[in-house]
Chain A
């Protein structure tokens, strides 16, 4: 009995040390990312002419790097078709947003208010706007700040939902990107 006892202890000690010794060290330490890294807004003049692209690029997503903006000018008294493109690292996330349109909506906050006019041109299954395709009308030469907000899991059916009262509809922010917009003659 005594011998068995001693042997048991010895065996356990040996087994645990052996186990510790045999750990594997070939982990894959690199992982993919799904974060949004870029928002691109393409302004195409409806009456013809080359498009201009606003870009808000944040290559490290939620990391500490400062985002980079591309802010071309818009022409006064012009109607634009505005399409949005949302990019992740090596991946276009626009289709995903389109697929889950019922839980997503863009809002376009303009300061000063209505320095340019914005209207939604797309709808989800419930006939509620998404904001991936829009219509913009510029007026006289001016400047302002345009903030694009993408909300996720909001109650889109909330009555009179607009860019000033959207927090009431709940949900959380996936994109909040501001651009300096200069409208020239």
Chain B
């Protein structure tokens, strides 16, 4: 708190200076034009779903005057000298539109609706849209892909994006991996709030309910300037249903059933505007699912069931130029981890590797035994904004997150029902930003964040504390500016972060002593980006960013056995912050009958933190354990993601996506462990707008080939990576309209169609058991929309 107070005056001074500079720039008018030019035009840009489009380029052909739409999707031009003008509006992913307007001195208003570029193509799979920053590569999951992934986990859905994979712990824990990096090297932005769980853990998935997600996208690049340190590989952006511009009512109910683990999922959503108060809207959403043990082709994956209960609600009040929103969500899950993955020491591990079948296989059940986890996550936030005409918008957001994690291990006596790990993490975040409207082709924002976090080990576990109690203060200041022309955009950004961390920990030598240590980390982040619109549908984007992150608590302080891996993990309190340069380049084209996108990236790390095996090992009363210590090295990542789609015959689409990645430990001249193997996925989809009484029909068969990870360092792992594998999948879906307002959508999928036995390198349980076998999934959705 003391540190925070001392930061505040500095912060205020800086903010005032920044504001003064920007304001001075804004009131620097082009006086010469004013005399005889008294025509004006204003308007709003939206898409066919009435969603506003911010950041679209609007220009007048005759005068070359141009601006970007504001966050409300609005634009306005003044001091136009001619009574007629041609307005051109364009944005990536949309068909550009030209409108010829007759102007009046009183001002003309025009609403322009942009159509998505070759709509049919865009609907099939993922699509690229311009979100906040068009010099960044942003890939959004299509509505159809969202539909297909109903009932699954967030990480599973994200896998649909080329370059994104998962780090798995059996069939119930999926951690997103962007360009080979995960945990504290990516940020998950949930409804505008940086998700704070115990994300350092490899078996800790993001605590987010996919059923509450309206839009899901990934920024593949070091987007650290806006969202803070740690966004080294990218950002996962999770957006629930927006309340702004909500008209009428919307209701949705989903049921998903899966055969393999006998899973059932039910979710419901209701959102409505309040008719009596214009601008007031609210929503309520809930979902629940329950699954039992999954089945590999040859045996039951005992103790891999899970159950979830999630809930969210929000209310928003939006006026012309200001608004306030309140939001609350709760996620809770109870999940089992493959029983056979519980092992006592290295010898047990060797037995597990040699055996044909996991040592613990039981009859199917929904019941969970140890090891199991109970995790809950509460998020409450309030956000307000105010827009000043021609100046900009001020945003303020405060949020509170409360993450509870209990991990139950196999223990004796009265400890069986006592968690071996019980962590409570409280995170409070304040974000203030000011987004100024386009002025002399410059558009941008600046802001600051103040975060506080407290991690607490609930003292009932009667076991060793894996990571200590700690509290952390983070402050960050950033500015990001973009120079926008119809043909190109240049983006510049900088950020400064300061983190202070106090820990209450045990020392190595004397495990009972408690002492407090304090560390401070501070560093700059910067980015430079460039986007060039080669033609109406070819875009080139390139971005170079310097990012950093402070070491995570487990890297500094973890001490002891990592459950399920038969390895000791020793933190290193002297670790230095990790820093990296990432260069991302994307070339994409969208055409009526085909589209493609290629992203290449290079990333160089200084002080890359990784686990290095210590050849000494550790002999204990439980037997022998290999020891892994956190060390730092120089690391280099290089990779390519590619997606291509072509409409071969009428209604028939061929799509392929591939990811290729290599990661090196430069100091030791070997490979980094747990890097996703190269993969290619091909699908053939038949689509029809209408057939009999059904609409939006599609039928798809897809094939996934995953190579063997040949680039690994033998001593860094217990077993070599598993061989390559191929999987087939079919998906189908159709919609039936009941009337104007209501519709029913039915979907059916078969995963692992041939019941293939395989193991994946990125599954932490690959040492013990095969992956899930064939799975039939049935989905039904009821949808109600009224204006």
Which positions in A face B, CB cutoff 8 Å?
5, 8-9, 12-13, 16-17, 19-21, 23, 27-39, 56-58, 60-64, 66-67, 93, 96-97, 99-100, 151-153, 167, 170-177
* Chain B residues with CB below 8 A from A64, complex form: 508, 568, 570, 618, 627
What's the Cα separation between A165 and B196 when bound, in Å? Answer: 46
Binding site secondary structure of chain A: mixed
* Chain B residues with CB below 8 A from A60, complex form: 511
Contact call A62/B360, Cβ cutoff below 8 A: no
Contact call A34/B462, Cβ cutoff below 8 A: yes
From 448 to 469 in chain B, residues with beta carbon under 8 angstroms from any chain A beta carbon are 452, 454, 456-457, 459, 461-465, 468-469
Known interface pairs A12-B382, A31-B457; A38-B621 also in contact (CB < 8 Å): yes
Nearest-CB distance from B266 to chain A (Å)?
35
Nearest-CB distance from B208 to chain A (Å)?
23
Question: Which residue on chain A has the smallest CB distance to residue B464?
Answer: A33
Contact call B625/A62, Cβ cutoff below 8 A: yes
What's the Cα separation between A110 and B347 when bound, in Å? Answer: 16
What's the Cα separation between A30 and B505 when bound, in Å? Answer: 9
Contact call A93/B412, Cβ cutoff below 8 A: yes
From 673 to 693 in chain B, residues with beta carbon under 8 angstroms from any chain A beta carbon are none
Nearest-CB distance from A16 to chain B (Å)?
4
Known interface pairs A16-B428, A62-B561, A64-B508; A8-B324 also in contact (CB < 8 Å): yes
Question: Which residue on chain A has the smallest CB distance to residue B513?
Answer: A30
From 540 to 579 in chain B, residues with beta carbon under 8 angstroms from any chain A beta carbon are 559-561, 568, 570
Contact call B462/A67, Cβ cutoff below 8 A: no
Contact call A39/B511, Cβ cutoff below 8 A: no
What's the Cα separation between A17 and B5 when bound, in Å? Answer: 11
Contact call A58/B620, Cβ cutoff below 8 A: yes
* Chain A residues with CB below 8 A from B619, complex form: 66-67
Contact call A172/B342, Cβ cutoff below 8 A: yes
* Chain B residues with CB below 8 A from A32, complex form: 462
The answer to the question of B410 belonging to the interface, with a C-beta cut-off of 8 Å to chain A, is yes
Contact call A153/B410, Cβ cutoff below 8 A: yes
From 563 to 601 in chain B, residues with beta carbon under 8 angstroms from any chain A beta carbon are 568, 570
Contact call B344/A152, Cβ cutoff below 8 A: yes
Contact call A67/B430, Cβ cutoff below 8 A: no
- In the assembled complex, 29 residue pairs joining A and B whose CB atoms fall closer than 8 Å, in A order, are A5-B324, A9-B384, A13-B430, A20-B1, A20-B4, A23-B454, A31-B457, A31-B462, A33-B463, A33-B511, A34-B462, A36-B622, A38-B621, A61-B620, A61-B622, A62-B464, A62-B618, A64-B508, A64-B570, A67-B619, A96-B413, A97-B412, A100-B413, A170-B340, A171-B359, A173-B622, A175-B622, A176-B622, A176-B624
Question: Which residue on chain A has the smallest CB distance to residue B452?
Answer: A20
Contact call B504/A31, Cβ cutoff below 8 A: no
Nearest-CB distance from A127 to chain B (Å)?
22
What's the Cα separation between A67 and B348 when bound, in Å? Answer: 20
Contact of B398 among A13, A58, A177 (CB under 8 A): A13
Known interface pairs A19-B428, A35-B464; A175-B621 also in contact (CB < 8 Å): yes
Contact call A29/B568, Cβ cutoff below 8 A: no
Contact call A56/B412, Cβ cutoff below 8 A: no
Question: Which residue on chain B has the smallest CB distance to residue A152?
Answer: B410
Contact call A173/B347, Cβ cutoff below 8 A: yes
The answer to the question of B299 belonging to the interface, with a C-beta cut-off of 8 Å to chain A, is no
Question: Which residue on chain B has the smallest CB distance to residue A172?
Answer: B344
Contact call B428/A20, Cβ cutoff below 8 A: yes
Contact call B622/A16, Cβ cutoff below 8 A: no
Nearest-CB distance from A93 to chain B (Å)?
7
What's the Cα separation between A93 and B396 when bound, in Å? Answer: 56
- How many inter-chain residue pairs (CB < 8 Å) link A and B? 147
What's the Cα separation between A170 and B412 when bound, in Å? Answer: 17
Question: Which residue on chain B has the smallest CB distance to residue A1?
Answer: B319
* Chain A residues with CB below 8 A from B459, complex form: 27-31
Nearest-CB distance from B777 to chain A (Å)?
32
Given contacts A151-B344, A152-B410, 16 further A-B contacts (CB under 8 A): A13-B398, A16-B428, A19-B428, A23-B471, A29-B504, A29-B514, A31-B464, A34-B462, A64-B627, A66-B619, A167-B348, A170-B340, A172-B410, A173-B344, A175-B621, A175-B622
Question: Which residue on chain A has the smallest CB distance to residue B342?
Answer: A172
* Chain A residues with CB below 8 A from B355, complex form: 167
Which positions in B face A, CB cutoff 8 Å?
1, 4, 322, 324, 340, 342-345, 347-348, 351, 355, 359-360, 382, 384, 386, 396, 398, 400, 410-413, 415, 428, 430, 452, 454, 456-457, 459, 461-465, 468-469, 471, 504, 508, 511-512, 514, 559-561, 568, 570, 618-625, 627
Contact call B462/A33, Cβ cutoff below 8 A: yes
Shortest 4 CB-CB contacts between residues of A and residues of B? A173-B344, A176-B623, A170-B359, A172-B344
Contact call B469/A27, Cβ cutoff below 8 A: yes
What's the Cα separation between A174 and B487 when bound, in Å? Answer: 67
Known interface pairs A9-B396, A172-B344, A173-B348; A30-B512 also in contact (CB < 8 Å): yes
Contact call A62/B428, Cβ cutoff below 8 A: no
What's the Cα separation between A56 and B622 when bound, in Å? Answer: 11
Known interface pairs A34-B462, A153-B410; A172-B348 also in contact (CB < 8 Å): yes
Question: Which residue on chain B has the smallest CB distance to residue A21?
Answer: B1
Nearest-CB distance from A119 to chain B (Å)?
24
What's the Cα separation between A38 and B415 when bound, in Å? Answer: 19
Contact of A37 among B412, B621, B624 (CB under 8 A): B621
Nearest-CB distance from B277 to chain A (Å)?
12
Question: Which residue on chain B has the smallest CB distance to residue A100?
Answer: B412
Nearest-CB distance from A13 to chain B (Å)?
7
What's the Cα separation between A93 and B512 when bound, in Å? Answer: 20
Nearest-CB distance from A60 to chain B (Å)?
6
What's the Cα separation between A5 and B394 when bound, in Å? Answer: 13
What's the Cα separation between A131 and B646 when bound, in Å? Answer: 69
What's the Cα separation between A67 and B382 when bound, in Å? Answer: 55
Contact of B344 among A31, A57, A176 (CB under 8 A): A176
What's the Cα separation between A36 and B382 when bound, in Å? Answer: 49
Nearest-CB distance from A68 to chain B (Å)?
10
Question: Which residue on chain A has the smallest CB distance to residue B415?
Answer: A34
What's the Cα separation between A31 and B418 when bound, in Å? Answer: 13
Contact call B621/A36, Cβ cutoff below 8 A: yes
Nearest-CB distance from B182 to chain A (Å)?
26
What's the Cα separation between A31 and B260 when bound, in Å? Answer: 42
* Chain A residues with CB below 8 A from B469, complex form: 27, 29
* Chain A residues with CB below 8 A from B561, complex form: 62
Question: Which residue on chain A has the smallest CB distance to residue B382?
Answer: A12
Contact call A67/B621, Cβ cutoff below 8 A: yes
Contact call A34/B452, Cβ cutoff below 8 A: no
Contact of A99 among B413, B514, B623 (CB under 8 A): B413
What's the Cα separation between A38 and B465 when bound, in Å? Answer: 20
Question: Which residue on chain A has the smallest CB distance to residue B343?
Answer: A172
Contact call B1/A62, Cβ cutoff below 8 A: no
What's the Cα separation between A100 and B416 when bound, in Å? Answer: 12
Question: Which residue on chain B has the smallest CB distance to residue A28?
Answer: B459
Nearest-CB distance from A109 to chain B (Å)?
11
* Chain B residues with CB below 8 A from A61, complex form: 464, 620-622
Contact call A176/B412, Cβ cutoff below 8 A: no
Contact call A34/B622, Cβ cutoff below 8 A: no
Contact call B398/A12, Cβ cutoff below 8 A: yes
Known interface pairs A38-B621, A63-B511; A27-B456 also in contact (CB < 8 Å): yes
* Chain B residues with CB below 8 A from A174, complex form: 344, 622
Contact call B384/A12, Cβ cutoff below 8 A: yes
* Chain A residues with CB below 8 A from B347, complex form: 167, 173, 176
Question: Which residue on chain B has the smallest CB distance to residue A9?
Answer: B384
Contact call B322/A5, Cβ cutoff below 8 A: yes
Contact call B463/A34, Cβ cutoff below 8 A: yes
* Chain B residues with CB below 8 A from A58, complex form: 620-621
What's the Cα separation between A73 and B342 when bound, in Å? Answer: 36
What's the Cα separation between A28 and B345 when bound, in Å? Answer: 31
